Amino acid sequence: MQINQEKLDQLLGKVVNEMGAAANGPLIKIGDQLGLYQCLGQSKSLSALELATKTQTAERYVREWLCAQVASGYVEYNAESDLFNLSPEQFAVFGDRNSPSFMTGAFYVISSLYHDEAKMLEAFKTGKGISWGEHNSCLFCATEKFFSPSYQNNLIDSWLPALNGVVEKLARGAKVADIGCGHAASTIILAKAFPKSHFIGIDYHPESIDEAKAKAKDAKLNNIEFKVATAKNYSDKDFDFIAFFDCLHDMGDPVGACAHAKQALKDDGSCMVVEPFANDSLSDNLNPVGRAFYAFSTQLCVPCSLNQEVGLSLGAQAGLKRLTETITAGGFKDCRKAIETPFNLILELTL
């Protein structure tokens, strides 16, 4: 087999770039945990020594960290003054935890995946699934950290207004279920925004429900409760609104989950499904977002589904067509794409 040197050089260049990205992942977490990005973003420009002093860290490590960040394009550097700073865009991605573009949470998720490599090797050999609760424990907080900025910046102001009459219903006072609530990032946002409504967060992972209860208590919310149950066996009914946030594709039986939600809704109830953004075909998902989501899907979403009773394993790149087929198979008349972001599809389900 004859090698095309030009193609080989291009591939090697891509792999070296990937090598640098992978090696810098832990440094992004370190920068976030030590407040290095935040401190840089709140200052006009700093030397390595000034940044280390302000963050009570060691200058030699901070200087090398800064060099890696500059080489990655994550920090700006002035060679004449030997000073470092964050551009507004860099601060939005790495330093501003309230920004809709804040992305460090993704690297916490990625870190957890490396801890579970041995489990994935076994899963590839056997075809068996991996329960959500079997993953490294740092995944659970990482998932909350990854999704929270998007929910915080989109849910109330953008996603809910795109649904028919849901904002008005919640404002008046409604009974709401958040299925697969995890650490309750979405549930708490909703409960704060609509104090007249009552919210029930439901998840089958007991440790996540314990954390959700603690977070709701810290937020001093009295219109929220949590229950350990699957998407097919919670007993509460007569909901005005049911939401699934980035979880339907993880379920072993998403058709059954939709069927259970349908019978748990009032006749005039509403249902929203938030799913990772995807087009309907692989060829249309060959982009940076699809690439990241296929990787997460292989190591998290598909194993989680295969561990459950049916194991339909939609994956995180199911796309609107397959999601619609799944939802209507569960008894809903139709689902409408209400709105989309670069990372999510927001679907409104019709009874």
CATH code, domain carrying 160: 3.40.50.150
Which residue's entry shows tokens 């329960």?
Answer: 131
128 and 192 in a single domain? The answer is: yes
Q: Which residue has the tokens 């870190």?
A: 111
Q: What pLDDT was estimated at residue 175?
A: 98
| Radius of gyration, alpha carbons of the chain | 22
Residues 285 and 336 grouped into a single domain = yes
Q: How many CA atoms, within 13 angstroms, populate the side-chain half-sphere of residue 204?
A: 17
What six digits make up the tokens of 8?
């080989």
- Contact between residue 310 and residue 251 where contact means Cβ atoms under 8 Å apart: no
Domain that holds residue 20: 5-95
336 lies in the same domain as 240: yes
Task: Please tell me whether residues 209 and 317 are part of one structural domain.
Answer: yes
**131 token code pair:** 């329960």
Mean pLDDT of 158-170: 98
**Residue 329 sits in the same domain as residue 232:** yes
- Which of 42, 70, 95 terminates a domain? The answer is 95
Q: Are residues 253 and 142 in the same domain?
A: yes
Say yes or no to pLDDT of 63 above 90. Answer: yes
State whether 332 and 280 are in the same domain. yes
Helix, strand, or coil here: 271? strand
The answer on 21 and 153 residing in a single domain is no
Is residue 175 located within the same domain as residue 73? no
Number of domains in the chain: 2
Residues 141 and 261 grouped into a single domain: yes
Q: Are residues 316 and 211 in the same domain?
A: yes
Q: How far is CA 305 from CA 250, 254, 300, in A?
A: 5, 9, 9
Tell me the pLDDT tens digit for each residue of 262-285.
999 999 999 999 999 999 999 999
Domain boundary among 32, 64, 95: 95
C-alpha 77: how far from its chain's center? 31
- pLDDT tens, position by position, 37-59: 999 999 999 999 999 999 999 99
Structure tokens at 208: 């996540």
**DSSP code of residue 72:** H
CATH (domain of 79): 1.10.10.10
What pLDDT is recorded for position 1?
A: 84
User: Are 12 and 76 members of one domain?
Assistant: yes
Interval 192-238: pLDDT, tens: 999 999 999 999 999 999 999 999 999 999 999 999 999 999 999 99
Whether the predicted pLDDT of 286 surpasses 90: yes
Last residue of a domain, one of 95, 123, 139: 95
Q: What is the pTM of this model?
A: 0.93
